[in-house]
């Protein structure tokens, strides 16, 4: 800044068309501007070539784009006035089939690339300045000025693969990360690991996140009957102090799961009384049949709900194909 009298040269954190942010020092460094491939895109299906999925595709590079879309995160100046309640409302609107309501938030492919219209139905696509994820790779290209041609060729391929992966993700793979966990044949409710309630460090000065904090489910699974049946105490059901690991309990403790386990425990106790047997001897298929008749969900199946005509049949089929027993 001092050498060439450039008022905002050097290290600058800045909202697009807005003020500078914390961390700005204006200090010079040896880094270079990030850059990208300019893309010629078209809406003309007869003239389209689909983006391919790169062989080294890694969805983890792009998955934060899901929350960026749902909550309307961007780097424009108007984002400074958006409240968290507005972002939560925006998420509900989009999940219900609507479009973003966040000011200056781009929609569709414009969320990840800046589009300029060209003749013949084509566009000149450049980096989206207001996006957290776009078509360049800041910092990765910094060795370029003094790097070998071999390194430059490798980086060129890396940038191409990243760009193709970004568009492939947006078109085919942009779902929250909910990898399915084990499905137990003797499952009595569905749940998911959601490590999203308690951090293991307090908020620290100068930090904008909580250490140990995750905002999305990491695995969908179901809970086997044996979790609420103690091994060494006869005729007792424990839907609250369940048998579970530290990580497992982080989801079993959640109120919806506890309510479902309580429903299963009450139903199992009723069957034990009717059949004159201990709770350890309750027929799990009979228990599952009764829970399904009550509208319970034993195996999570995306796109299906207890109101579907074939829901019970699908649940039974999923349980019959399960390869894991919880007993």
pLDDT score, position 195: 37
Share the mean pLDDT of the chain.
82
How do residues 284-303 score in pLDDT, each as one tens digit? 999 999 999 999 989 888 77
Q: Which domain holds residue 21?
A: 1-30
Residues 247, 215 share a domain: yes
**Most distant pair of Cα atoms in the chain: their distance:** 90
For residue 1, what pLDDT is reported? Answer: 55
Could you tell me if 74 and 109 lie in one domain?
yes
Task: Find, among 185, 188, 187, the residue nearest to 263 by Cα.
Answer: 188
Whether 127 and 10 map to the same domain: the answer is no
What is the gyration radius of the CA atoms in the chain, in angstroms? 26
Q: Are residues 210 and 155 in the same domain?
A: no
For residues 27 and 246, which has the higher predicted lDDT (pLDDT)?
Answer: 27
Dist CA 211 CA 201 (whole Å): 6
Q: Is the pTM of this model over 0.75?
A: no
Name the domain boundary from 172, 204, 239: 172
* pLDDT for residue 128 is more than 60: yes
pLDDT at res. 250: 63
Q: Which of 27-36, 75-84, 207-216, 297-306 has the lowest mean pLDDT?
A: 207-216
Asked whether 326 and 186 are in contact (CB, 8 A), the reply is yes
| Domain count within the chain | 3
Share of the chain above pLDDT 90, in %: 41
pLDDT at 246: 53
Q: Is residue 2 part of a domain?
A: yes
Which strands make up the sheet holding 187-193, listed edge to edge? 179-180, 219-224, 187-193
The neighbouring-strand residues paired with 124 are 40, 116
Residue 22, both tokens: 């914390």
Domain contains 261: yes
Which one has a higher pLDDT value, 66 or 205? 66
Q: Are residues 16 and 86 in the same domain?
A: no
Among the candidates 172, 195, 223, a domain finishes at 172
Q: Is residue 234 domain-shared with residue 279, that is, in the same domain?
A: yes
Q: Is there a domain that residue 326 lies in?
A: no
What is residue 294's predicted lDDT score, i.e. its pLDDT?
A: 94
Residue 11 lies in a domain: yes
Q: Which residue has better confidence, 216 or 172?
A: 172
In a domain? residue 120: yes
Question: Do 134 and 51 lie in a common domain?
Answer: yes
* 115/127 Cα distance (integer angstroms): 9
Residue 327 included in any domain: no
Residues 105 and 145 in one domain: yes
Q: What is the pLDDT of residue 203?
A: 37
| Predicted confidence (pLDDT) at residue 267 exceeds the cutoff of 80 | yes
- Please check whether residues 200 and 309 belong to one and the same domain: yes
Convert the pLDDT of each residue in 152-185 to its tens digit. Answer: 999 999 999 999 999 999 988 876 544 456 677 8
Q: Which is nearest to 192 in space by CA: 260, 292, 262, 93?
A: 260
- What pLDDT is stored for residue 245 in this prediction? 63
- The answer on 85 and 23 residing in a single domain is no
In 3-state terms the chain splits into helix, strand, coil percentages (rounded to 5) of 35, 10, 50
* Residue bearing the bigger pLDDT, 144 or 180: 144
Tell which of 121, 148, 172 closes a domain: 172
Over 70: is that where the pLDDT of 201 sits? no
Does some domain include residue 199?
A: yes
Q: How far apart are CA 184 and CA 123, in angstroms?
A: 51
Instruction: Say if residue 194 is in the same domain as residue 307.
Output: yes
User: 309 and 234 in one domain?
Assistant: yes
Q: Between residues 311 and 191, which one has the greater pLDDT?
A: 311
Give the model's pLDDT for residue 209. Answer: 36
Residue 167, CB-side half-sphere exposure with 13 Å CA sphere: 20
Residue 4 falls inside a structural domain: yes
Neighbours of 237 (CB within 10 A): 20
**Mean pLDDT value across residues 33-41:** 87
Enumerate helices (H) and strands (E) in the chain, giving the number of each: 7, 6
Distance from C-alpha of 199 to C-alpha of 184, rounded to nearest angstrom? 30
Helices (H), the chain: 64-71, 84-95, 149-172, 246-252, 255-275, 284-293, 311-320
């Amino acid at each position: 800044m001092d050498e060439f009298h450039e008022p905002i040269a050097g290290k600058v954190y800045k909202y697009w068309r807005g003020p500078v942010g914390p961390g700005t020092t204006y200090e010079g460094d040896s880094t270079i501007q990030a850059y990208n491939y300019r893309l010629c895109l078209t809406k003309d299906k007869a003239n389209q070539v689909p983006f391919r999925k790169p062989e080294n595709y890694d969805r983890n590079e792009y998955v934060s784009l899901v929350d960026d879309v749902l909550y309307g995160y961007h780097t424009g100046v108007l984002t400074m006035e958006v409240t968290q309640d507005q972002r939560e409302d925006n998420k509900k609107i989009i999940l219900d089939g609507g479009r973003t309501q966040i000011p200056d938030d781009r929609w569709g492919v414009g969320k990840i690339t800046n589009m300029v219209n060209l003749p013949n139905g084509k566009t000149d696509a450049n980096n989206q300045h207001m996006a957290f994820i776009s078509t360049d790779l800041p910092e990765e290209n910094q060795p370029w000025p003094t790097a070998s041609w071999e390194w430059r060729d490798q980086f060129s391929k890396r940038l191409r693969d990243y760009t193709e992966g970004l568009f492939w993700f947006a078109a085919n793979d942009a779902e929250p990360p909910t990898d399915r966990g084990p499905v137990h044949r003797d499952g009595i409710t569905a749940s998911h690991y959601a490590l999203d309630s308690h951090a293991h460090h307090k908020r620290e000065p100068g930090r904008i996140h909580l250490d140990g904090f995750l905002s999305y489910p990491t695995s969908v699974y179901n809970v086997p009957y044996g979790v609420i049946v103690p091994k060494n105490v006869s005729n007792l059901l424990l839907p609250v102090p369940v048998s579970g690991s530290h990580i497992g309990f982080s989801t079993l403790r959640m109120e919806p799961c506890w309510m479902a386990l309580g429903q299963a425990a009450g139903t199992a106790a009723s069957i034990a009384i009717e059949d004159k047997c201990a709770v350890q001897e309750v027929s799990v298929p009979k228990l599952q049949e009764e829970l399904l008749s009550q509208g319970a969900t034993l195996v999570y199946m995306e796109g299906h709900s207890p109101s579907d005509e074939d829901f019970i049949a699908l649940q039974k089929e999923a349980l019959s194909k399960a390869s894991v027993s919880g007993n």
